[in-house]
Structure 1
Amino acid sequence: MKHRLFVATALGAAALTCASIACAGQAPASLASPDIPISHKDRVYAAEQFSNTVSVTDPASNTLLGVIKLGDPAPANFSPLYRGQVLVHGMGFSPDHRTLAVVSIGSNSVTFIDTQTNAAKHTTYVGRSPHEAFYTPDGSEVWVTVRGENYISVLDAKTYAEKTRVTVPAGPGMQIFSPDGKYGYVCSSFNPETVVISTADHKIVGHIKQESPFCPNIAATPDGKQVWFTLKDVGKVQVFHAEPPFSAITSFDTGPITNHVNFAHSAKGTFAYVTIGGTNQVKVFRADNFEQVATIPVGKLPHGLWPSGDGTRIYVGLENDDALAVIDTQTNKVVSTIPIGQAPQALTYVPNAVPEGDGTQNLQPLGVAGQVSHLTLLPAGADKSGALAAPTSVALFDQGLVQVLQASVTGLQPKQPYALALSQHADGSGPLENLANFMTNPAGGAIVNSIGQIRQIVTPANADAGNARRYLVIAPVVSGNLGTAVQVQAR
């Protein structure tokens, strides 16, 4: 009888503690924490790189509530007097679920946002090209990977000021923490090495060899046993033990432009969800035996993803579709697609982010952030009827009179120079006008950007209005000159 009373009291205390900090048994929290059912108090946030916004979605109704505007689109942000944020990209949240930490690569900043009011509380400026930021599980620090340099900027979570730096291999891509808060895991985007840092003293205590130098994303399983990271350039995932000696477990091919990984846990086990940008899919793997159990078509260039507080849904940002895909983890099918801002990158799901009211203060309508045109490129000479899967998707994000072009390129020769160009002819013949040179990664893919009045000349509607029609193509670069087009615009 005493034993039963003790258990009940302990469970009650645990429930009270979890209720006070809104913890959940899904990543990045501990598996021992209770799940939190989806409700209107929860929010899904996405960092949108070209509209410089953070979209705010209610997961209970799968509706966009509005966007938090952190900056202006191009060309307004070219001004030397511009004070907003540029290239809104990374995202983390505090353990009490009351604060977002949003990284803007172009303005070297971390903006702290109140989840109840959607208002910016503070902006901290750090080193060159920060990529991601996340709170330590005890909520005392925010670690920012300064990818353009060689350190983690450790911020005090109360004052938002930098308190120290941790030197790591150049180009740290992202950090995440063990659920118990003992270790921070930091992968690299420039060097083939992941390091493990003790959060107690900020000392490096482990090294893991990456099979390529380009890791954009890393995640720890809620049971604290494994760490998974993605290798975008070679299209792979690696897994290592989360505890000393941090030894390798496995690695396997996933597909071109492998972006992010995250986990959902249910009675069936823990499952890893991996976004494969080059094939417009999310692949699902068991965490116990690494068996692939599902391949889910989601939309163009899936990037960031995060589980709901109960693990019943996975939310996926579609970078070239300006949308949020919602996956039911029981059926592994997309059950909803929600329009959001331009080129979503990192994404987080925050249970109980808005404990009171409707949480729509300081939100703005989507506006120009929802305007985008889509094109596809096919191999030269291929049937353009659409029967053949397009290897390259192109999004033209409206910025007023100009657009930011982003191409998710696949299907080319690896490690070779190419150019995205304009042709006067639909088959890509004749002289070509160069828009952007690029080098393919070891998987034969690349993300290519340009800017200009491109939509006005490459879409049929605008050409019919009297503009000189051009067609997007991809051609190899040979001795500094453009060769024969190998991919051409489908329409």
Structure 2
Amino acid sequence: MKRSFLALALLAGSALSVPAFAGQVPGAASDADIPISHRDRVYTAEQFSNTVSVTDPVDNKLVGVIRLGDPQPGNFSPLYKGQVLVHGMGFSSDHKTIAVVSIGSNSVTFIDTATNAVKHTTYVGRSPHEVFFTPDGNEVWVTVRGEDYVSVLDGKTFEEKTRIKVPAGPGMQIFSPDGKYGYVCSSFNPETVVITVADHQIVGHVKQDSPFCPNIAATPDGKQVWFTLKDTGRTQVFNAQPPFNMLKSFETGPISNHVNFAHNANGTFAYITIGGLNVVKVFRTDDFSQVATIPVGKLPHGLWPSGDGSRVYVGLENADAVTAIDTMSNKVIATSAIGQAPQAIAYVPNAVPEGDGKQGLQALGVAGQATHLGLVAVQGKTAGAKGAKEEGPTSVSLFDQGLIQVLQASVTGLEPKQPYVLALARQPNGEGGLEPLAVFMTNPAGSAIVNATGQIRQVVQGEDKIQRRYLVIAQGNAAKPGPVVQVQQE
């Protein structure tokens, strides 16, 4: 870390200009580090509580939540005006604005970091996924995953100014530190494209090993771009400069989710969340060697480094928590409670220039209520997908919505590309008949994310004199379930 710049970063205030991103992503490696302070904030976008949690990184405590929408079934109303499925996140180069994508309501919400107030909401095309400001702050790019374009918004008015046509299903975009290129991967097609920011022209094509890319990031030195493949559990690295050639493609593990970087005295490292293994894997960017595997908790999803690279913060989707990793020791140093099912995460240095930053924030309330379960393999009935844990391969969260819950299961350890049923059984071992909740097909890594809704917690815990049932996974389909392969863990 560049301690020679420390005095500049400490003295800089409203009257002095500070480097935008502290030598960490999404800025340049030559920028100064910004030490962790009470002015910094960690933001997490939470899909089932429709909230943004705001955490102070000094003491790793939740400051409060920004409530963008209501839980189910309130958000089913035709008169509902809030946001649904709060998911993606980016922030501006001046640290004054975060942009939050809500998949279900096709929106981007712009929030003032100093006051936590919503400044503007822009509605875009079907199922947007991620959003980020260009380094100069002039534009905001939104990947509209349900269609075939990037929606380009004006960085000041937040209104759409143009669209850039790309392969169908753009998953995420990120920019080179110098602001010259935008890199857009796809969630539906095996192709990443490189676009010049100045004139919105596609100038490069990179082949993905499989179609489902959820996340992409560029190194602060401007030399590499890394992206993950959630369906096959792989990660690829390509040259951030022409000819944009592939540098590395390797297996990282089932439900490889987000990737980001931290630079410290030991070098620059890529951190990748592996949801199916409940770990973060760490790789050097110079020789791609793996240097650490960090157990973090259930279904790690988004992650982002602190302004000085000393920590990486990780959202735990099936644990409703955010975890801090010390990048020198690569060990978890803190975990704090947040809203339901955190997705994207952003660490914004100097987000709150003065005051306590609590204006407009609310308590967690129902957003902090969830029940967490696990399913274990029936001996001899699961394939044991490569890299999956033998014990407890599937984690289940029941996110409280008031009257009902949203169930989310992070399923691993099954046969690849095969049909399965998540069901309720009368007996703990799966015998006595099955009541299907959801049918699903595993991906090439033998994994899947499975959702259902209903009064499921009351049933699986036998509440209110309800006859208890047990969560299981069986082979086959709802009409004709086959053998039970995973059962609820007691």
After TM superposition, is the score higher than 0.5?
Answer: yes
State the 1:477 CA deviation: 1.3
- 1:476 corresponds in structure 2 to 475
Identity %: 72
Give the 5 Å matches for 1:202-281.
Answer: 202-281=200-279
Could you tell me how far apart the structure 1 residues matched to 2:379 and 2:164 are? 52
Alignment RMSD (CA, Å)? 1.8
Which ranges of structure 2 fall in alignment gaps of 5 or more residues? 382-388
* Match runs of 1:158-177 below 5 Å: 158-177=156-175
1:106 to 104, 107, 118: 104
Counterpart mapping for 1:36-435 below 5 A: 36-381=34-379, 389-435=391-437
Aligned AA (1:455): R
Tell me if the contact between 1:264 and 1:314 (Cα under 8 Å) persists in the aligned partners: yes
Q: Please list every run of 5 or more consecutive structure 1 residues that lacks an aligned counterpart in the other structure.
A: 1-7
Q: Which amino acid aligns with 2:26?
A: P
Task: Report what 1:489 is aligned to.
Answer: 488
1:438 equivalent among 437, 440, 454: 440
- Give the superposition deviation at 1:23: 3.0
Q: 2:169, 2:375 → 1: CA distance? A: 32
Amino acid at match of 2:486: Q
Cα gap change, 1:292 to 1:65, in 2 (>3 Å): same
Query: For residues 171-192 of structure 1, what are the alpha-carbon distances to aligned partners after superposition, in whole Å with 9 as ceiling and x for unaligned?
Result: 0000000000000000000000
Shift of 1:19: 3.5
Amino acid at match of 2:455: Q
Contact map agreement 1:394 1:406 (CA 8 A) in 2? yes
Give the letter aligned to residue 93 of structure 1: F
| Letter of the structure 2 residue corresponding to residue 231 of structure 1 | L
CA distance in 1, matches of 2:195, 2:131: 15
CA distance in 2 between counterparts of 1:176 and 1:34 reads: 21
Shift of 1:481: 1.4
Q: Give the secondary structure class of the aligned counterpart of 2:137.
A: coil
- Other-structure match for 2:384: none
Equivalent-residue separation in structure 2 for 1:373 and 1:18 (angstroms): 48
Task: Kindly state the Cα deviation for residue 480 of structure 1 after the two structures are TM-superposed.
Answer: 4.4
Q: Distance in 2 between matches of 1:163 and 1:18?
A: 32
**Partner-residue secondary structure (3-state), 1:483:** strand
Q: What amino acid is the match of 1:454?
A: I
Structure 2 vs 1, CA of residues 382 and 453 (structure 1 numbering), >3 Å: closer, same or farther? farther
Is the Cα–Cα contact under 8 Å of residues 22 and 352 in structure 1 kept in the other structure?
no
**Helix, strand or coil for the counterpart of 1:486?**
strand
In the TM superposition, structure 1's runs of 4+ consecutive aligned residues that sit over 2 Å from their partners are 14-23
Structure 1 residue 389: Cα displacement: 2.0
Deviation track 1:302-356 (CA, whole Å, cap 9, x = no partner) reads 0000000000000000000000011000100000000000000000000000001
CA deviation after TM superposition for structure 1 residue 21, in Å = 5.7
Query: Equivalent residue of 1:227, what SS?
Result: strand
Q: CA deviation at 1:24?
A: 1.0
User: Structure 1: which amino acid aligns with 2:85?
Assistant: L
Whether the aligned pair in 2 keeps the contact of 1:18 and 1:34 (CA below 8 Å) is: no
Deviations 1:41-88 (A, max 9, x none): 000000000000000000011110000000001000000000000000
- Structure 1 stretch displaced more, 417-426 or 186-195: 417-426
CA contact (8 A) 1:381 1:427 kept: no
1:29 to 24, 27, 30: 27
Shift of 1:20: 4.1
With normalisation by structure 1, the TM-score equals 0.94
SS in 1 for 2:458: helix
Which AA in structure 1 matches 2:106?
N
What's the CA shift string for 1:21-53, capped at 9, x where partnerless?
A: 643100100000000000000000000000000
8 Å Cα contact 2:439/2:477 also seen in 1: no
Query: 1:372-421 CA deviation, whole Å, 9 max, x = no partner?
Result: 101111112489xxx95211000000000100000000000101111111
The count of corresponding residues between Structure 1 and Structure 2 is 475
- TM-score normalised according to structure 2 size: 0.95
